[in-house]
Structure 1
Amino acid sequence: MEGQIAVAGLSHMGIVMAATFAAKGMNVVAISENSSLVDKLKKGEANISEPGLEAVLLNVGDQIIFSTDDALLSECQLIFCCLDVPTSDSGESDLSSVSRYLDLIERRAPASVVVIMSQVPPGFTRQWAKTRQSNTYYQVETLVFGEAMQRAKAPERIIIGSDGGEDKVPRLYQDLLDKFSCPLFHMSFESAEIAKISINLMLVASISAANTLAEICEAHTADWSDIQKVLHMDRRIGPFAYLTPGLGIAGGNLERDLETIDNLLVNAHDDVGIVAAFRRNSLWRKTWPERVLEREFGDSLKDCRVALWGLAYKSETDSLKNAASLILLKYLSLTHVAIFDPVVQSFTPQNSNHRVSPTALSACEGADALIVITPWKHFSNLCPKEVASVMKGNLVLDPFSCLDRQAWEKAGYKVLALGRGI
């Protein structure tokens, strides 16, 4: 079909971008090797938890052709490689699948314009572009789990890398970019690749600073939420600064960029101390629940029962990549733990002391402590008096301040949170 575009690789980013392009009025061919995934997507069902995604898939109808037939790529003039890059627990990237899809694109559609959106290290796009005659571009992806559809449809800006950093792109690509009505930044391949890493490293810096300062608040009976408001009013920091303390860095993307920066600094014989500091800070904050439990229960923790609300590393996603919940469950290997997550349904405990409960309330039966490890809105609506009727103890660890602290304390609970002194 004239003007038809393709998305190759249907992991999280690929599914979201295919849906977004269709929602913007484009005809999209979406290719995956996974036949069961393709069958689900044809029915408007996604294998990922992303607010608004399934509604878009059902609404765009025939504008997306989901298929395992990669021969369809030959009909497309503009092809996006949108495969998420898997990472190890330490953040090392596995680019083999991306390379395989790019080889497939070149074999099926050598004359097409190719846009790589998969996150790759500096130099990767230029190296691949040398092997082909047609135009190649790198477009920076800035999606966020749980907000992906919103950010995909209305990005703050679009960053495009090209061989010479020129600001002109082929007409079909420009027509698509115009549908987003946002600033466009053109630069070289390497600048765009490092721009993506730079965005994530600045987020890591903000997260690390917020976590460090929040911990100081915990030790000095201060409240970080009050200080956040002051910092957001400072124009040098800004109203949208990432100042919410958390349980370390998770999800895989930020860890990958820390690993990339670390490798680049090592290869340049430069100082890697800042990356090591960020990693230490992340690991330290991930163990906040463990340190609180040890302080509150000591050696008797092994005889306790703990209710764990949540598993995902953040709300509005089902991702467990480097989640603090998994570290906590390892620590609680000798403790009876009842787990409930409203979205992560396929989790199987690896420990006989741990079980999955059908509801948040049933997880609390006989519990000495409750830990809200993922701040799902579902939990904020639960009645503390109802929970108190089944719990044995009164300790609540609510690191992200998901619960109404006053209501829970009025119900007799001791509520502890990140960045808040006691």
Structure 2
Amino acid sequence: MKICVYGLWHLGTVTAACLANRGFEVVGLDPNTKTIDGLNCGKAPLYEPGLDKHLESGLEAGRLTFTTDIKSAVGHTDIVWVTFDTPIDEDEKADIDFVFDRIIDTFSYLRDDTMIIISSQLPVGSIRKVEREFMECKSDRRVSFCCIPENLRLGQAIESFLNPDRIVVGIRDNGMRPIIGRLLSPISSELVWVGVESAEMSKHALNAFLAMSIVYSNEIAGICERVNADSIEVENTLRTESRVGRSAYIRPGEAFSGGTLARDVTYLTNIADQENLQIPVLNSVVPSNNIQKGWLFRRAQEILGNSAQHKKVGVLGLSYKIGTDSIEKSISIELIRDLLTLGVQISAFDPKVNILPKDLSMVRLENSIDDVTVDTDLLILVTRWPDFQALSSETLINNMRAPVVIDQGAFLASGLSGESRIQYITFGKG
């Protein structure tokens, strides 16, 4: 079985590398020459733990190649797996036409009995639209379409692909099962077979549920702050309730960022608007999250006071979550832009980010955690990199002018919460 993985950013590169790891012959296809050149040298276009190692292994074994030539890649494969990351604009609106156009580009080169798997994050109904487009263009060809919603977890992408809880597979008829079974059996035996639209909808439902869980937990924590309760203690009581469960997504802290969860919530609210449906709960998710995004800045303003322009702030963590070097939609970047309006000096450190947007050229990127703390008036922890837990109270006391730490998710609580010489501020504790 030969597979073409089409669209090589985070999802696609992981998919191609992992399929080659499982013994398949894989050709990775992408229109970006720079991306392809790097991949052919075993270098992923972005950071993901273990990914370069898997790429190198596939290349050395001869099971993995990369190209920009759509005709050679698509015309000789059994499966085309579409894995483009769907672009998002500043208003969380997805550019779904970008992905549609890339899929349509393959139509002229597909041979009979090719299967197209779509894992790109698209709104429910997209695959039916692609099927109609194909029939209008190539009605004489036998091509089937399938939906396998992506399960990408940045920072844990290799593990989540190779050892998923289950794989949701959306198909039109049971005749597609044997070839999909051959493809997925080396990865998981837990296949959940559903209709195409149900598979598309399942991804929206999951991400919307996770988004609602986050904003719910943060709203509860906000109330805890006002009534002298501890949101972590409240969380622990909920986890012992069988109707909630110990693995529930209810840890209060940062707002969600990065665009992935917001994109699916927006897909659902847009569909509801088109269908004239009342969905007050889902409509409240993004506004609630936006309020939470401002918590760090509001607390920083309170600490800095009216003399902010004479003070220095250190920021730990720039990527939008651990395990990636992506700063797209990063709360940290938004926070820095807000802080600069106060006139403060800012230094920052992230173990994987070494380039900032051009408009943040005045921010000093430090080489270590300790460097960020030197002569700062306020230290703000944003991204929960494990490296940051090495930060000691003595370092803060010796390096900072007056040790004040804002740690929204209480990531450093075990080492700092009991230190009387440090003003340690977390979210959700009265």
TM-score bucket of the superposed structures, by smaller chain: over 0.9
Find the residue that maps to 2:216 and give its secondary structure: helix
Alpha-carbon distance in structure 1 between the residues aligned to 2:378 and 2:403 = 6
Q: Which residue of 2 aligns with 1:315?
A: 322
Alpha-carbon distance in structure 2 between the residues aligned to 1:409 and 1:306 = 23
Gaps in structure 2 of 5+ consecutive residues = 136-141
- Of 314, 335, 355, 1:328 maps to 335
Alpha-carbon distance in structure 2 between the residues aligned to 1:315 and 1:59 = 25
Identity of aligned residues (%): 27
Is the 1:27–1:63 Cα contact (8 Å) retained in structure 2?
yes
Q: Which residue of 2 aligns with 1:75?
A: 76
Is the 1:155–1:182 Cα contact (8 Å) retained in structure 2?
no
Is the 1:380–1:404 Cα contact (8 Å) retained in structure 2?
no
Alpha-carbon distance in structure 2 between the residues aligned to 1:170 and 1:110 = 19
Alignment of 1:191-210 (within 5 A): 191-210=198-217
Q: Which moved more, 1:23-32 or 1:344-353?
A: 344-353
Q: Which residue of 2 aligns with 1:339?
A: 348
Alpha-carbon distance in structure 1 between the residues aligned to 2:406 and 2:306 = 18
Q: Give the superposition deviation at 1:404.
A: 4.4
> Residues 352, 89 of structure 1: CA spacing in aligned structure 2 closer, same or farther, 3 A cutoff?
closer
Is the 1:252–1:322 Cα contact (8 Å) retained in structure 2?
yes
- Of 371, 374, 396, 1:362 maps to 371
Q: Give the superposition deviation at 1:246.
A: 2.9
Q: Give the superposition deviation at 1:8.
A: 0.7
User: Are 2:401 and 1:400 equivalent residues in the alignment?
Assistant: no
Alpha-carbon distance in structure 2 between the residues aligned to 1:230 and 1:371 = 28
Deviation track 1:13-63 (CA, whole Å, cap 9, x = no partner) reads 100111111122111111111122112112221122212212222223321
> Residues 393, 257 of structure 1: CA spacing in aligned structure 2 closer, same or farther, 3 A cutoff?
same
Is the 1:349–1:356 Cα contact (8 Å) retained in structure 2?
no
Find the residue that maps to 2:193 and give its secondary structure: strand
Is the 2:312–2:377 Cα contact (8 Å) retained in structure 1?
yes
- Give the letter aligned to residue 80 of structure 2: I
- Give the letter aligned to residue 387 of structure 2: H
- Give the letter aligned to residue 113 of structure 1: M
TM-score (norm 1): 0.94
Q: Which residue of 2 aligns with 1:190?
A: 197
Q: Give the superposition deviation at 1:351.
A: 4.5
> Residues 14, 52 of structure 1: CA spacing in aligned structure 2 closer, same or farther, 3 A cutoff?
same
Alpha-carbon distance in structure 2 between the residues aligned to 1:46 and 1:76 = 23
Q: Which residue of 2 aligns with 1:103?
A: 104
Alpha-carbon distance in structure 2 between the residues aligned to 1:382 and 1:305 = 19
- Of 29, 35, 44, 1:31 maps to 29
Q: Which moved more, 1:10-19 or 1:211-220?
A: 211-220
User: Are 2:227 and 1:225 equivalent residues in the alignment?
Assistant: no
Find the residue that maps to 2:405 and give its secondary structure: strand
> Residues 309, 73 of structure 1: CA spacing in aligned structure 2 closer, same or farther, 3 A cutoff?
same
Alignment of 1:252-401 (within 5 A): 252-333=259-340, 334-348=343-357, 350-351=359-360, 353-401=362-410
Q: Give the superposition deviation at 1:348.
A: 3.9
Alignment of 1:2-41 (within 5 A): 3-41=1-39
May I ask how many residue pairs the two structures share in their alignment?
Answer: 417
Q: Give the superposition deviation at 1:266.
A: 0.8
Q: Which moved more, 1:32-41 or 1:365-374?
A: 32-41
Q: Which moved more, 1:10-19 or 1:268-277?
A: 268-277
- Of 143, 148, 161, 2:170 maps to 161
- Give the letter aligned to residue 43 of structure 1: C
Is the 2:167–2:188 Cα contact (8 Å) retained in structure 1?
no
- Give the letter aligned to residue 347 of structure 1: L
Is the 1:211–1:246 Cα contact (8 Å) retained in structure 2?
yes
- Give the letter aligned to residue 138 of structure 1: C
Q: Give the superposition deviation at 1:189.
A: 1.8
- Give the letter aligned to residue 190 of structure 2: P
- Give the letter aligned to residue 370 of structure 1: L
User: Are 2:129 and 1:127 equivalent residues in the alignment?
Assistant: yes
Q: Give the superposition deviation at 1:411.
A: 7.2
- Give the letter aligned to residue 186 of structure 2: K
Alpha-carbon distance in structure 1 between the residues aligned to 2:358 and 2:316 = 14
Structural RMSD (CA): 1.9
Is the 1:377–1:402 Cα contact (8 Å) retained in structure 2?
no
Alpha-carbon distance in structure 1 between the residues aligned to 2:363 and 2:353 = 15
Is the 2:24–2:63 Cα contact (8 Å) retained in structure 1?
yes
> Residues 68, 387 of structure 1: CA spacing in aligned structure 2 closer, same or farther, 3 A cutoff?
same
Gaps in structure 1 of 5+ consecutive residues = none
Is the 2:269–2:282 Cα contact (8 Å) retained in structure 1?
yes
Find the residue that maps to 1:179 and give its secondary structure: coil
Is the 1:85–1:118 Cα contact (8 Å) retained in structure 2?
yes
Alpha-carbon distance in structure 2 between the residues aligned to 1:392 and 1:104 = 59
Deviation track 1:251-293 (CA, whole Å, cap 9, x = no partner) reads 1111111211111111111224323321121111111111212
Is the 1:161–1:188 Cα contact (8 Å) retained in structure 2?
yes
Q: Give the superposition deviation at 1:173.
A: 2.5
- Give the letter aligned to residue 122 of structure 1: V
Alpha-carbon distance in structure 2 between the residues aligned to 1:290 and 1:155 = 37
